[in-house]
Amino acid sequence: MEKFKNHKGYSRMYQENKLTLGLFFPIESYMGDVPEMNIEKQMKLAKRAEELNFASLFVRDVPLRDPNFGDVG
């Protein structure tokens, strides 16, 4: 896509003829219906992912409550 040609994140993630890898934040254990995320822990993980040269980092943004699953999944 020409309009993203100079976008740093896009060009890092989508490199022609190369495999790039991303990392998905793990689901943290918690009690109740609303997860509480440890931001310091997540920042440390994000910095480590960058050090290891992962091209992207994904977080889930729409948790769905499933009573049979036991948490938000």
User: What is the pTM for the complete model shown?
Assistant: 0.59
Fill in the DSSP letter of residue 53: T
* Span 42-47, average pLDDT: 89
Alpha carbons within 13 A on the beta-carbon side of 65: 6
Question: Within a domain: residue 73?
Answer: no
Contacts of 24 (CB under 8 A, 6+ apart): 57, 58, 59, 60
In a domain, 69, yes or no: no
- Between 60 and 33, the more confident residue is 60
Total number of domains in the chain: 1
- Residue 57 belongs to domain spanning: 2-61
SS3 assignment, position 24:
strand
What does the pLDDT look like over 3-36, one tens digit per residue? 887 888 888 888 889 888 888 877 666 666 666 6
Do the domain assignments include residue 22?
A: yes
Whether 17 maps to a domain, the answer reads: yes
Whether 20 maps to a domain, the answer reads yes
The helix/strand/coil state of 22 is strand
- Look at residue 67 and tell me if it is in a domain: no
* Beta bridge partners of residue 45, listed in sequence order: none
- Tokens found for residue 32: 């109740």
